[in-house]
A = this chain, B = another copy of it.
Amino acid sequence: MNEWSDRVRDIESFKVMELLKRAKQLDAQGHNVVHMEAGEPDFATAAPIAEAGVAAIQNGHTQYTPSGGIPELRQLIAEHYANTYGLDISPERVLVTAGASGALLMVFSLLANPGQTFMMADPGYPCNRQFLRLVEARGQLVPVTAEDNFQLTPELIEQHWQPNTAGILLASPANPTGSVVHRDDMELISQTVKTLGGHRVVDELYHGLTYGCNAPSVLEVDADAFVLNSFSKYFGMTGWRLGWTVVPENAVADMEKLAQNLFISPSTIAQHAALAAFKPETLSILEQRRHAFKERRDVLVEGLRNLGFVIPLMPEGAFYVYADASRFTDDTFSFCWDLLEEEHVAVTPG
Tell me the A residues contacting B by CB distance below 8 Å. 1-2, 4-8, 11-14, 17-18, 20-21, 24, 38, 40, 44-45, 50, 53-54, 57-58, 60-67, 98-99, 101, 105, 109-114, 126-127, 130-131, 134-136, 194, 197, 199, 224, 236-241, 250-251, 254, 256-258, 260-270
Contact = CB atoms under 8 A, between A and B. Distances in A.
Given A1-B197, A105-B262, A136-B136, 15 more contacts: A7-B109, A8-B257, A8-B258, A21-B66, A24-B66, A44-B60, A63-B238, A99-B264, A101-B263, A101-B264, A109-B134, A127-B262, A131-B261, A131-B262, A241-B263
B63 A14 contact: no
A70 B307 CA distance: 37
A45 B263 CA distance: 19
Nearest to A253: B13
B113 A5 contact: yes
B111 A17 contact: no
A265 B262 CA distance: 16
Contacts of A240: 62, 267-269
Contact of A237 (B62, B239, B241): B62
A12 B267 contact: no
Contacts of A45: 57, 60, 62
A239 B265 contact: yes
Contact of A54 (B18, B57, B236, B270): B57
A64 B239 contact: yes
B66 A20 contact: yes
A98 to B, nearest CB: 6
A57 B50 contact: yes
Contacts of A24: 66
Given A98-B98, A240-B269, A267-B270, A14 B113 contact: no
Nearest to A272: B239
29 contacts: A1-B199, A1-B224, A5-B110, A6-B113, A7-B109, A7-B113, A8-B109, A8-B258, A13-B260, A14-B264, A17-B264, A20-B64, A38-B64, A50-B58, A54-B57, A61-B239, A62-B238, A105-B105, A109-B134, A126-B261, A127-B261, A130-B261, A238-B264, A239-B265, A239-B269, A240-B269, A241-B266, A267-B270, A269-B270
Please list the 3 inter-chain residue pairs (A to B) with the smallest Cβ-Cβ separation, ordered nearest first: A239-B268, A14-B260, A44-B60
Which of A17, A21, A66, A114 lies at the interface centre, i.e. has the most chain B CB atoms within 10 A of its CB? A17
A50 B38 contact: no
Contacts of A53: 57, 269
A109 B11 CA distance: 11
Kindly name the residue among A66, A109, A114, A264 whose own CB sees the greatest number of chain B CB atoms within 10 A.
A264
A262 to B, nearest CB: 6
The CB with the most chain B CB atoms within 10 A, among A237, A240, A260, is that of A260
B262 A130 contact: yes
Contacts of A111: 4-5
A250 B2 CA distance: 8
